[in-house]
Structure 1
Amino acid sequence: MKKYLIPLFALLLFNIGCKSDDDGIVNTETPDPDPGSDVIAQNFMWQAMNLWYFWQGEVNDLSDTRFANDTEFTEFLEQNSDPSDFYFDVLLFEEDRFSFLNENYEELVSNLSGVSKSNGLEFGLVQFSGSEDVFGFVEYVLPDSDASTKEIKRGDIFTRVDGQQLNLGNYIDLLFGDNDTYTLGLADIENGTITDNSTEVSLTKIENQVENPILVAKTLDVGGTKIAYLMYNRFLSNFNEELNAAFGQFVADGATELVLDMRYNPGGSVNTSRLLASMVHSTDTDKLYIRQRWNDKIQVQLSSAQLEDYFASSTGVTAINTLNLSKVYVLATNSSASASELVMNGLAPYVDVVHIGETTRGKNEFSITLVDDPEGSFIYNEDREDEINSENNWGIQPLVGRNENADGFFDYTSGLAPTYVLEEDLANLGILGEPDEPLLARAIEEITGGVSKRSFAVEMPAKSFTSSRIQTPLKDNMYLDKPLNLNK
């Protein structure tokens, strides 16, 4: 598994402790549970959240002075026998929509690298009007996956799994449960109505399915204008070189415009977002991309150099291939979140970001992976796996900070509103990367200044309430993978 692991904070904060230290975090001594108490996971979660959580100061139960003694602390931990309930119901701030956890940290870390058990079918789920029934629509199919070998494609509709109608009560078990193989029952759309048909497609989830986030990268020639198109579906640092190579091809093709399609991109690596922004706009390392804000305990320990990220001239392996653009066309929807929004916000002080689609998710916080390794300040580090408490496999992914752009703007919890509103149409999703696909066609119209005779009216808006990418351990996480050291 190690070949896929991301070195989250590989050099970070080895000198931070959970106890008072004149050279480290200013913190009162933290409590310890009574020996013999069965609260190993809960204790780890409280200690880690007390140190790192962005809203630590707003959650009374995470206060440094919350407990008078170890016995009181133990009784508090014992009130919730289920670690998951303890995390979500007790420790999280009421405005926190995105922190999550996994009872197996190895699964969590693997998913951060784009490795999961998957059949390769990515889809959205929509609730039927006036009913608890649900239907799905295929957004795209991963190459080299089980789904890529079957008769199913973008735009297909399904209503049933193993003969059962999908509904709000069963879709998680049927589509995202322990069943590695399931059979989808397809349906047709005609005159705004979805009707079941007899076609069935059986799909099987494959272990260690790796997602290349670059689904489509091509240069279109539209009336002599070279338009680069990139369909980018997750920010995965182990594909940084492939991303840079795609921009190298755009440069070689003479592209002068870019359509960056992140309509389904739920986020990922903060550093990869910085590299992508540099490929779009500039390799000037004196230009500020983003600035981090942590809780009060952490913020005072970090220097300006550690808190600030500048545009990059290198991936760390190769020189950045940049288009040096002052305008970019971004396709983004409510499924676009975290690192996708970060690119848009980080570019905004320098670039005219023309946003086509829908208001984005509104996730402006980043997270880190925490495990039961107190001596390592709870930060997951693959080189310290032997130091992780063998009696506790829980991993948590709490929000620990926010990123603001060079203008100081970070408040987009309601999402980033589009310049031009255009929803996807279930009756006409089109082929990704083709000039007549509706969202891309709208961008091309803006680029060329032409007014097409086609209508952009939407017959059946694709209003999904969740998607296959969200129902994974990675969810819509934006994770920080920048090595830092304490300001001594």
Structure 2
Amino acid sequence: MKLNKYLLLLVAAGSILTSCSSEEEIPKTDGDADLQEKSIEGNLEREIKDFVWKGLNFWYLYKAEVPKLQDDAFATQNEYIDFMDSYSSPESFFNNGLLYEGDRFSWIVDNYEDLENSFAGVRTTTGINYGLSYISSDSNDLVGIIRYVVPGSPADNENLKRGMLFTEIDGQQLTVENYRSLLGGESLTFGFADYTANGIVTNGNVATVSKVQLNENPILVAKTLDVDGIKVGYLMYNSFVHDYDGELNDAFGQFKNDGITELVLDLRYNGGGRVSSAVDLASMITGQFNGEVIIRTRYNPTIDVQLSEASKVTKFDNMIFDGNESDHPGHTPTAINSLNLDKVYVIATRSSASASELIINGLAPYIDVVHVGQKTVGKVQASITLYDANPPYYEKTGLNTKHKYAMQPLISTSVNASGEAYPEGLIPDIEKVEKWDNFGTLGEMDEPLLATALNEIKSNRSFERTIKAGKFIPTYVGESLEDEDAYQNMYIDVPSEDSEIKKLKTTTFKD
């Protein structure tokens, strides 16, 4: 069934029922609101809400579960507008009126430029990536630990390091109730602490760090290790950001030149990102499966029925930007540096989600994937950015320039080539939790999670003490980026010109 662009807009003004019989016509009066045809155009808040409804009505993965998103949900335009007007803002309309109750990952923003920046790795930050835990089981007081510092950031300039503990911000003890507001400031004074025989105790050291707009390279560490004569590549990769795919490919080129035979891919803090970057990374790890299926995708029934099965698969590739050159002017396809490995060690934890999980699950039918760490989040759905523009809304053609609202709704779900998914999270093959009193240095062979993977590559008793040391196992309360809209999100590219999704624009939306 083809979907009308918007059922109610097809009803001409004169055809909306405003009479009781053919003999007696009741005239409209200013005081008879129910008989007045209400207008969307010219009312900015209604225009935004109208865009929200239209975009979700077509794209939303859970459309069938939301009664007010059905094509026949409203009998008249006035009924539809009354429904919109019953919500105080576009945010309330989206979150409380139309969002499926089981959806944790769709969102709306009032400035799409901020959203685009976050997807490009640009954010306002101190440069500190942190985790938060209860100090003790009988207190709401929290301790934070610096998990890593972005090179060149304000925190880096203050010489802050991985493993440093903090318990106070601006002189106030962090608690479950206040940590979001304290860490949300533009300038933060950290009060540091130490592990002692008496527990975690403040040490009197402080550092003030201001937030700036920062472009973070997700490749934090890329190096080749010599493990008893075995060349092992180690990559600490913190987000799937398309803008850095070229640098990611260069790192694999260096691994290839170094002659590595084993790879440890560290995704312990990677909450996800762009699907095409995940596919490229999987293709860099392998290379021998070009053209084979890595994931199979499903959409809501309105979309799914119009697409061929061939169009709902994503395959290993051998070129960066393959099929997506149009949204990267000035770029030309670049051959992927593939390692042709038949085994990979992946460090993934409770902070690893979406595209990170896609790597593990997508590779599993083809090569041996050894998952070191913890159970992952369990995020199998992907989203797309929708603008108040011409249908199908994922491009800025005909953009409504009176506002900058955009949506990032879930539009698809996926399984791997074997039909397997991970809605409850991926279970590690080797369980290992970061102990905060034995944190280690990322990329060094005695860092406990890396050492655990290296022990699997070749038994090395010198790592055993490092792996087993430490007592403080955190009870996580929060972490960096959790207040960002894109937290643990997986999103797809703008469809290429020859894709079936792209052609839905001409076959589905009719005036």
TM-score normalised over the length of structure 1? 0.89
Distance in structure 2 (CA, Å) of the matches to 1:30 and 1:183: 55
Residue in structure 2 matching 1:440, options 443, 450, 455: 450
1:354/1:26 Cα in 2 relative to 1: closer, same or farther (>3 Å)?
same
Q: Indicate yes or no: 2:487 matched with 1:475.
A: yes
Distance in structure 2 (CA, Å) of the matches to 1:192 and 1:391: 59
Residue in structure 2 matching 1:187, options 156, 175, 193: 193
SS in 1 for 2:404: coil
Q: Indicate yes or no: 2:163 matched with 1:155.
A: yes
Q: Indicate yes or no: 2:172 matched with 1:164.
A: yes
Residue in structure 2 matching 1:358, options 374, 379, 390: 374
Of 448-457 and 269-278, deviating more is: 448-457
Equivalent pairs counted in the alignment come to: 456
Residue in structure 2 matching 1:393, options 404, 409, 424: 404
Shift of 1:105: 1.1
Distance in structure 2 (CA, Å) of the matches to 1:462 and 1:256: 34
Matches within 5 A, 1:451-462: 451=461, 452-454=463-465, 455-456=467-468, 458-462=470-474
Shift of 1:27: 4.2
1:115/1:283 Cα in 2 relative to 1: closer, same or farther (>3 Å)?
farther
Gaps of 5+ in 1: 1-21
SS in 2 for 1:221: strand
Shift of 1:330: 0.5
Gaps of 5+ in 2: 10-37, 322-332
SS in 2 for 1:94: coil
Shift of 1:327: 1.0
Shift of 1:28: 7.3
SS in 2 for 1:31: helix
Distance in structure 1 (CA, Å) of the matches to 2:297 and 2:198: 46
TM-score normalised over the length of structure 2? 0.86
SS in 2 for 1:249: helix
Distance in structure 1 (CA, Å) of the matches to 2:62 and 2:468: 43
Residue in structure 1 matching 2:48, options 37, 41, 59: 41
Task: Summarize deviations over 1:239-277 as a string: whole Å, max 9, x none.
Answer: 011001101111111100000000000000100000000
Contact 1:283 1:320 in 2 (8 A): no
Partner letter of residue 228 of structure 2?
G
Partner letter of residue 272 of structure 1?
S
Matches within 5 A, 1:6-405: 25-27=2-4, 29-31=6-8, 34-35=39-40, 38-128=45-135, 129-176=137-184, 179-191=185-197, 193-207=199-213, 209-316=214-321, 317-373=333-389, 375-381=390-396, 384=397, 387-405=398-416
Shift of 1:338: 0.5
Contact 2:438 2:469 in 1 (8 A): no
SS in 2 for 1:325: coil
Shift of 1:433: 0.4
Partner letter of residue 182 of structure 2?
L
Of 251-260 and 313-322, deviating more is: 313-322
Distance in structure 1 (CA, Å) of the matches to 2:363 and 2:208: 43
1:463/1:249 Cα in 2 relative to 1: closer, same or farther (>3 Å)?
farther
Partner letter of residue 8 of structure 2?
P
Shift of 1:34: 2.8
Distance in structure 1 (CA, Å) of the matches to 2:196 and 2:285: 41
Shift of 1:47: 1.3
Q: Larger radius of gyration, structure 1 or 2?
A: 2
SS in 2 for 1:427: helix
Distance in structure 1 (CA, Å) of the matches to 2:177 and 2:48: 30
Which residue of 2 is the match for residue 486 of structure 1?
503
Of 124-133 and 139-148, deviating more is: 124-133
Task: Summarize deviations over 1:350-373 as a string: whole Å, max 9, x none.
Answer: 011110100001111000011111
Shift of 1:58: 0.9
Shift of 1:171: 1.7
Partner letter of residue 3 of structure 2?
V
Which residue of 2 is the match for residue 407 of structure 1?
418
Shift of 1:308: 1.5
SS in 1 for 2:278: helix
Contact 2:165 2:192 in 1 (8 A): yes
1:85/1:167 Cα in 2 relative to 1: closer, same or farther (>3 Å)?
farther
Distance in structure 1 (CA, Å) of the matches to 2:347 and 2:200: 27
Task: Summarize deviations over 1:62-114 as a string: whole Å, max 9, x none.
Answer: 11111111111111111111222222222111211111221111111111111
Distance in structure 2 (CA, Å) of the matches to 1:205 and 1:349: 43
Of 96-105 and 227-236, deviating more is: 96-105
Q: Percent identity?
A: 43
Distance in structure 1 (CA, Å) of the matches to 2:408 and 2:134: 29
Distance in structure 1 (CA, Å) of the matches to 2:8 and 2:143: 49
1:459/1:31 Cα in 2 relative to 1: closer, same or farther (>3 Å)?
farther
Shift of 1:139: 0.6
Distance in structure 1 (CA, Å) of the matches to 2:112 and 2:96: 20
Contact 2:6 2:54 in 1 (8 A): no
Contact 2:134 2:474 in 1 (8 A): no
Contact 1:192 1:460 in 2 (8 A): no
Task: Summarize deviations over 1:269-308 as a string: whole Å, max 9, x none.
Answer: 1000000000111253231111211111111233344321
Stretches (4+) displaced over 4 A: none
Distance in structure 2 (CA, Å) of the matches to 1:416 and 1:433: 24
RCO higher in structure (CA 8 A, sep ≥6)? 1
Distance in structure 2 (CA, Å) of the matches to 1:453 and 1:118: 37
Shift of 1:473: 3.3
1:40/1:250 Cα in 2 relative to 1: closer, same or farther (>3 Å)?
same
